[in-house]
Structure 1
Amino acid sequence: MGLEMIQVAKKMEKEAIKSSGIDFIRLGFALFFMVAVLTYSFLSSGSIPNNLFLAIAALFGAYMAMNIGANDVANNVGPAVGSKALTMGGAIVIAAVFEAGGAFIAGGDVVKTIKKGIIDINAFGGNVDPFIWAMMAALLAAALWLNFATMMKAPVSTTHSIVGGVMGAGIAAAGFTIVSWGTMGKIAASWVISPVLGGVIAAIFLYAIKKTIVFKKDKVAAARKWVPIFVAIMSWAFVTYLTLKGLKKIWPSIVDVLVFLPDAKQPSFLIASIFGLIVAGVVYIILRKTVGNRATNLHNTRDSINLLFTVPLIFAAALLSFAHGANDVANAIGPLAAINDAVVTGDISAKAGIPLWVMAVGALGIALGLALYGPKLIKTVGSEITELDQMRAFSVAMAASITVIIASQLGLPVSSTHIAIGGIFGVGFLREYLASTGQVETIYKEEINLEDEKKVLKAYNNELKTLEDKVDKTKADYERIVDLYKLIDEEEMKIKASKKHIKSVAKVKYVKRDAVKKIIAAWVITVPAAAVLAAAIFFMIKGMVL
């Protein structure tokens, strides 16, 4: 026994050393990237006053970008990994490439210096120094909060993190009147709108897949008919989503090349939809043939049909990553671009140009953060909320794109993180609902059987009492008493087992409640936590400088 304990202890020690070694390597890569960014920024801006502030801000921007990669990108690839459509390594490679590609190709050359207009830059009165300190505080606070959330395995909104950071630093710099409270109200509304919309849409698509394919007797024939339709709908949704959200910042350049398009600064929903319909039509034609050919090798089982959704899921993960890189890179480089613009021009602008090196900090930082620290959140999103297969993950991906399209047309504020997690909640709760409705009849039958068992037990007890009260017992009476004791024991065990089974059937939970509570709590406190951190950091910077 002692030898076994020693061996177990040695094994644990080896695992701990291995784990700490890997953590040290990760930290080394992260520190090397941040120091490289700091050094480049400082050396390339040596002739500019306040270049030290710019270099430190670049360091904070690199740290923020890595935290976005570690936390937010999990929502794009987590469902695909959880459903085993992608391996962890494959997901990281695809996400890193497409995140960086989205940032470089469609990240735009101009970014709003104040995310979503939550504070009024005029409140700084043209005083550049407090503005620079506020943006630095916002960046560092948002990054620290994301870092903490990732450690706690809680997927949170990076947009809300930077919004909270900007708000808190702005209040510290110029008071509460600097904040646009109407805008903050809309952002707070997204805490409810995003997950509810995402959950409902994901549940609708999963139920539609079940109704048209899974619940059919001939699943292969149903899949041959419906899989091309569902994937075509997904193609329309993703191309529309990508056009509206991923290409909006470079749309003028696209219009210059494709001269037949209307001359507009951003793509309209109609144009995006037409692009989507064209791609959807091509996809449907291709898939009708390929699914028809594959159907001959499929078994009439759910697992076999699931395989048809694997390739669409991989495309979904790639496109979601591209759109995320195009949009959320601004969370990392928006304040950094604002600081760079303020340092270079000595003025505060509502919009700032993005130098290539600033874009590179955002793009490479997101990819590096994902590769180093992303697996923890990918596992949480993919498998620690509810069990996902390809159909369920496909429904979550559909929800991610369609919810953004609906919200953008209605002018509703939404968070991509909340949509994706809400979609996972949605498919999990749908499973619970379908299980409970299917089990009502089972429970009813079990309860009838339980009542019958109780009647039998009562009859045995009555018979036993009668025999035990009998004065002149025969040999047969004693033998029957012995048999009755055995029968009563058996009947009591049956009743106990039936009660336990009814209780277990009635309490089937496909969504882990602890995970739900932790994630929702993290969502609610993201903005105030980042705001308090940013205010504290602003006063610390101000105290150090003055």
Structure 2
Amino acid sequence: MVEGPDGTPVNQWKTLDKDLQRIGRVEDGAQFVSRPMVAPGLALAFVVLAGVGAAILVQGEPGNWVIVAAAVIGAYMALNIGANDVANNMGPAVGAKALPLLGALCIAAIFESAGALVAGGDVVNTVAKGIIDPTALPDPAHFVWAMMAALLSAALWLNLATWFGAPVSTTHSIVGGVVGAGIVAAGFGAIDWSSMGMIAASWVISPMMGGVIAACFLAFIKAKVLYVEDKIAAARVWVPVLMGVMAGAFATYLALKGLKHVLQIGLVSALGIGGMVGILCWAFAVPFVRLKSKGLENRKKSLKKLFGLPLVVSAALLSFAHGANDVANAVGPLAAIVHTLQAGAIAQEVSLPIWVLTVGALGISVGLLLFGPRLIRLVGSEITKLNTVRAFCVALSAAITVIFASWLGLPVSSTHIAVGGIFGVGFYREYDAEKRARRLGIQKGKPVPPEERKRRLLVRRSHMMTVAAAWVVTVPASAGLSAVIYLVLDALT
């Protein structure tokens, strides 16, 4: 401090303080503006790194620049799978508060990568779901452009759907891409329309099966555990049974879906494995539940603690199976392009180079960590309110529905099943609440008026319409994009 002419103290640093405050506000503003660009910047760095790595590995080989471009698109596709599809596995656990968001992201990233690398398979089909016959295309070059167009269109559609906040099927996206490019390249006759009909039917069958099974389990738990007089005693009987069913269902699910590339297991064998695992889990769960239930109050809220650990385990197992299966959506077309360019011929099945599989596995995890939280929150808490019991029913329905679909030979989407399970739980809650309100109203002589019943709706209809519209549009949208991209690539070359 210095003194002024009149002897009063003067702050000689006042101007400097004001300047520093202005600089601080500018820095805060810059951070606020730049923060949304961090995730896209890291994603771009991953895509570039994938391209550089591919360039180093395939230098000197025929069509190396095309392989590099395909690797970049495959990395972009894997990012979008992680951003959109993985939310269906972790959303219920996060919405039920069984896992914090960061913990869910870390678990999903680890198990998605493990599933892709351990059970992702060393052989994949070159064309998704047998939709198109590769021999119908004029030559290998046109096949390469068709796969490039399918991969890029599916990635773009997934990116758009994620931006709109709609969980869609990555499998249906890549199928639509193959259909669009296949029609332009070889005509309508090259498409297996019976397979397409089955896929269209799965739009309705998958969510309905998932929703009905999830609602049935929730109704069972409410009737046998939550709404009985002695809830603790009922929980000690039925919760171990439900854990055994869950373990058996997931063992069967993983045998059919997650480990099919490592071991060839039929449905009967998978059910046998699931049965043995279920019985063992039930035997271990009986003392576990008895110990966990000691000291719990005889009320519904206390019992929700018993479902926390099984829900976390189920979410991890779903992520493992998802990584094992859906990594092929990102790297299957990429592996087909690499094989076709190196061999100079089209093959029905191709081997998966380890670097291709790594691009898919890492891309799914990076996409999940950077862009997954938004859809995880939507799936977990914005469709209907979930707790550990309801989320447990959703996870269990996902595994059981896949088993039923495999038995019936139906192509189903894990995305549709999981989201359908959430809607099923929500609609059952509405039905149960309405039934109880009517019963109480009749007892008191005060029926619930229609406007009050409407206010008590427990499922957000706006999300239901958005999701349903995105599901229906997925195949046509990705097909249209793919057709345009194929025409551009064909014209350029």
Displacement after TM superposition at 1:22 (Å): 2.8
| Structure 2 partner of 1:56 | 69
Looking at structure 2, the residues matched to 287 and 102 of structure 1 have their Cα atoms a distance apart, in angstroms, of: 26
1:109 to 110, 119, 122: 122
State the distance in 2 between where 1:170 and 1:219 align.
58
Equivalent residue runs for 1:265-280 within 5 Å: 266-280=264-278
Cα deviation 1:450-483 (Å, max 9, x = unaligned): 9xxxxxxxxxxxxxxxxxxxxxxxxxxxxxxxxx
Partner Cα distance (2:313, 2:303) in 1: 18
Secondary structure of residue in 2 paired with 1:54: helix
Q: 1:94 aligns with which of 107, 121, 142?
A: 107
Alignment of 1:137-536 (within 5 A): 137-251=149-263, 266-444=264-442, 503-505=451-453, 507-536=455-484
SS of match in other structure, 1:241: helix
Partners of 1:443 and 1:506 within 8 A in 2: no
Q: Which residue of 2 aligns with 1:3?
A: none
- Measure, in 2, the Cα distance between the counterparts of 1:145 and 1:15: 35
* Matched residue, 1:77: 90
Question: Matched residues in 2 for 1:328 and 1:81: separation?
Answer: 22
Deviations 1:506-537 (A, max 9, x none): 54211100000000000000000000000111
* Alignment pair present for 1:130 and 2:130: no
**1:514 partner letter:** S
The CA deviation at 1:299 is 1.2
Q: Secondary structure at the match of 2:350?
A: strand
The verdict on how the C-alpha distance between 1:398 and 1:122 changes in structure 2, with shifts beyond 3 A counting, is same
Deviations 1:264-320 (A, max 9, x none): xx2022221222222222211221112112222211121110010000001001100
Q: Deviations over 1:342-390 (max 9, x none)?
A: 1110111111110000000100000000000000110010011000000
How far the C-alpha of 1:543 sits from its partner, in A, is 1.8
CA distance in 1 between partners of 2:123 and 2:74 (Å): 17
Instruction: Please state if 1:538 is matched with 2:486.
Output: yes
Q: Which amino acid aligns with 1:504?
A: E
Residue 21 of structure 1: how far off its partner (Å): 2.7
1:14 and 1:506, CA in 2 relative to 1: closer, same or farther beyond 3 A?
Answer: farther
User: Gaps spanning 5+ residues in structure 2: where?
Assistant: 1-24
Measured in 2, the distance between the counterparts of 1:316 and 1:88 equals 16
Tell me the CA shift for residue 505 of structure 1.
3.5
Does the aligned pair in 2 maintain the 1:436–1:506 contact within 8 Å? no
Q: Percent identity?
A: 52
Q: 1:18 to 1:428 in 2, by over 3 A?
A: farther
Matched to 1:531, the amino acid is A
Are the structure 2 counterparts of residues 138 and 173 from structure 1 closer, same or farther at C-alpha, using a change threshold of 3 Å? same
SS in 2 for 1:213: helix
Question: Which deviations, in whole Å up to 9, do the C-alpha atoms of 1:75-126 show, x marking residues without a partner?
Answer: 011000000001101111111100010010001100000000001111114x
Deviation sequence 1:130-176 (CA, Å, 0-9, x none) = 11111011111000000000011100000000000011011121221
Aligned residue for 1:116, secondary structure, equals helix
- The one-letter amino acid paired with 2:92 is P
**Which secondary structure state, in structure 2, belongs to the residue aligned with residue 111 of structure 1?**
strand
Instruction: Find the residue that maps to 1:352 and give its secondary structure.
Output: strand
Partner of 1:67: 80
* CA–CA distance in structure 2, aligned partners of residues 61 and 88 of structure 1: 27
**Structure 1's 152 and 405: CA in aligned 2 closer, same or farther, altered over 3 A?**
same
Secondary structure in structure 1 of the residue aligned to 2:132 = coil
Distance 1:395 1:157, change over 3 A: same
The code of the aligned residue for 2:481 comes to L
Can you give the 5+ residue segments of structure 1 that lack an aligned partner in the other structure?
1-11, 252-265, 451-500
> How far 1:396 sits from its partner (Å)?
0.2
CA gap of 1:434–1:32, structure 2 versus 1, over 3 A, is same
**1:36-76 deviation per Cα after TM superposition (whole angstroms, max 9, x unaligned):** 11111122212122111110000000000000000000001
Q: Which residue identity is paired with 1:396? A: V
Call closer, same or farther: CA 1:519–1:449 in 2, change over 3 Å: closer
When the two chains are superposed, the root-mean-square deviation of aligned CA atoms in Å is 1.8
State the match for 1:258 in structure 2. none
Q: Please tell me the residue identity of whatever aligns with 2:164.
A: M
Note if contact 1:235-1:276 (Cα within 8 Å) is conserved in structure 2. yes
Retained in 1: the 8 A contact 2:398–2:414? yes
Report deviation, 1:220. Answer: 1.0
Deviations 1:204-240 (A, max 9, x none): 0011110110001111111111110001100000001
Q: Which has the larger radius of gyration?
A: 1
The aligned counterpart of 1:474 is none
- Please report how far the alpha carbon of residue 129 of structure 1 lies from its aligned counterpart in structure 2 after TM superposition: 1.0
Q: Give the 3 Å change call, closer, same or farther, for CA 88–16 of structure 1 in structure 2.
A: farther
Shift of 1:17: 5.3
TM-score by length of 1: 0.84
1:29 correspondence with 2:27? no
TM-score, scaled to structure 2: 0.92
For 2:261, what is the secondary structure of its paired residue? Answer: helix
* Partner SS, residue 30 of structure 1: helix
Greater CA drift, 172-181 or 161-170: 172-181
Q: Report the Cα offset of residue 19 of structure 1.
A: 5.2
Q: Conserved in 1, the CA contact under 8 Å of 2:441 and 2:447?
A: no
- In the alignment, is the contact (CA less than 8 A) between 1:212 and 1:222 conserved in 2? yes
What is the aligned counterpart of 1:38 among 34, 51, 56?
51
CA–CA separation in structure 1 for the residues paired with 2:94 and 2:29: 26
The number of equivalent residue pairs is: 470
CA contact (8 A) 2:267 2:406 kept: no
Instruction: Name the aligned partner's letter for residue 234 of structure 2.
Output: A
Contact 1:446 1:502 in 2 (8 A): no
Instruction: Give the conservation status (yes or no) of the 8 Å contact 2:438–2:447.
Output: no
Contact 1:443 1:502 (8 Å CA) reproduced: no
Distance in 2 (CA, whole Å) between partners of 1:199 and 1:444 is 30
